[in-house]
Structure 1
Amino acid sequence: MSQWAHDTFGQRAPAIRQAVAEALSVALENARDAQRMAQTDHLHPFGFTLMSRKFEALAEAFEDMGDVRIVKPAGSQHELVVLDGRLLFPFRYAKDRSLSVMSARIGDGRPSALVQALFNRFGPEPRMRQLALQGIAPQAVPIAEALGDLPEGTSLVLIAYACNAHAGLLDAWWGEAELLDRTGSLRWHHCEEIPLAQDTPAAYSSTLSLTFDTGDMPTPSLNARTGAERLAPPVSEAAPARSEAAAGE
């Protein structure tokens, strides 16, 4: 367990990390079941089910844990988990293993007003103020007001995962990042892999974490490597891949 996880969640960090992995697995299996039942080649059943179940499964996983609040911002269809002052926000960053999480974008295209508000209010202090939320902050004001009942010290913890209807959950990461621009680009301040429920014990001990305290973030190349191995220094800049979330997430 990393120092960041311990500082963020305390002694409950291992249990919380495992619950996050299990909740994502449940949401993915529910979405794959919906796709199979629909008996269609179109991926709308998978996408729409995943869009809702990723939030619901997290809420179900933590609803009985102490210091938990389940909030539903005005204008949002989904409930968000606030665990001991940490707001958990899951999003799909890729549909396969070709895109590094370091090149992840949040949302498919322009970030929603809710996403903007969450970063504005609860995200980490931007490393480069002139780039942070460039040109999009004013649109976040109405929903930011709806989040006003949450404590000022609440912080945003991102849960990024890759998946598809055929293979299910491929990998998952959590950490803190700032939203850079209207395309959903992120600058990770900290990012580490979440061992998945089906991983072997050896995978837990080999999990790597990265904390970027100084300098520019690396931009990895497209590759077929998996897990924390894909956080190695890049060879060339990667073009962002379009997420399968357009099918309904």
Structure 2
Amino acid sequence: MLSTWALETFGPRAEQIRQGVAEALALALENAQDAQKTAQTELLHPFGFTLMSRKFEALASTFADMPDVETVKPPGSQHELVVLGGNLLFPFRYAKDRSVSVVTARIGDGRPSGLVQALFTRFGPRPWAEQLTLGGVEAALPEPATPADRALTRLPEGTRLVLIAYACNARAGLLDVWWGEAELLDRTGSLRWHHCEPIPLAGQAPAVELPGVAAPVGEASAFARGAMPAPALNPRPPYERANALPPMSEAPYAPDAAADEGR
């Protein structure tokens, strides 16, 4: 089943695109594992370098024949980024095993590159909470545009950044894949997900969805399917009814109550 987010983002091609992403990453991981075996070394450089290039190349070749697809190669970048129907696909590895949750995913191991920062600034979702600047007017001025930022200006303003986060290692291969939208929180690469959902992988059990992820279209949530609870009624005592006393809906106000609330 496809989520509302996937259908709204990719339209009727959502299932085809989701499957294509999974197949492209699986191919990139297979190529990286082959490179590691061929190198016959315990160092993981062959695996890492091959995966870094092949994940972008595999996505580009997978969607090359699909309508409304273009690629962009910013200055200084060795890789072409795929823009599919106004959605810029950006894959990154968030973990080497399942001990790390995608919720705590970071872009890279250090400070995000100028390209990554430009992608979030131009095409990422609007931050839920704007950060306040304390350094005066000068500190609030925007940073100078980088070459990567200027190269992205030819893409339409409505372009959306779709993150593809995956966990993998040279021995086990591809473990989990997620996609969605997030904002870049700081210069350490921390993310705040606005939407994140798993991409099914062939031959693997589906990953557990994150709290707050929208239910697939046509499938009601567990709360909506449950029976409506009947509230317990507290009838008025016979004494009040016999003497026509007004109902007491709230406890009488105590003058000292406000002091106990800490206000």
TM-score range normalised by the length of the shorter chain: 0.7 to 0.9
CA distance in 1, matches of 2:14, 2:194: 19
Q: Does residue 196 of the first structure (1) align with residue 201 of the second (2)?
A: yes
Please list every run of at least 4 consecutive aligned residues from structure 1 whose deviation after the TM superposition is greater than 3 angstroms.
Answer: 206-213
Instruction: Tell me by how many angstroms 1:138 deviates.
Output: 2.8
Unaligned runs of 5+ in 1: 214-249
User: One-letter code of the match for 1:95?
Assistant: K
Q: Does residue 147 of the first structure (1) align with residue 152 of the second (2)?
A: yes
Partner of 1:94: 95
Partner of 2:112: 111
Unaligned runs of 5+ in 2: 134-138, 215-263
Superposition map of 1:90-239 within 5 A: 90-130=91-131, 138=143, 141-199=146-204, 203=206, 208=209, 210-211=211-212
Instruction: Tell me by how many angstroms 1:110 deviates.
Output: 0.4
Larger mean Cα displacement after TM superposition, 150-159 or 122-131 = 122-131
Partner of 1:39: 40
Render the CA deviation track for 1:24-77: whole Å, top value 9, x for unaligned: 000000000000000000000000000000000000100000000011111110
CA distance in 1, matches of 2:173, 2:144: 34
TM-score calculated relative to the size of structure 2: 0.74
CA distance in 1, matches of 2:10, 2:119: 19
Which has the bigger relative contact order, CA under 8 A and spacing at least 6? 1
For the aligned residue pairs, the C-alpha RMSD in angstroms reads: 2.1
Secondary structure of 1:92's aligned partner? strand
Instruction: Tell me by how many angstroms 1:22 deviates.
Output: 0.3
Instruction: Tell me by how many angstroms 1:199 deviates.
Output: 2.9
CA distance in 2, matches of 1:185, 1:94: 13
CA distance in 1, matches of 2:145, 2:168: 28
CA distance in 2, matches of 1:15, 1:198: 18
Partner of 2:223: none
Percent identical among aligned pairs is 71
User: One-letter code of the match for 2:88?
Assistant: L
- Residue-pair matches, total: 207
Work out which of the two has the higher radius of gyration on C-alpha atoms and give 1 or 2. Answer: 2
User: One-letter code of the match for 1:107?
Assistant: G
Partner of 2:29: 28
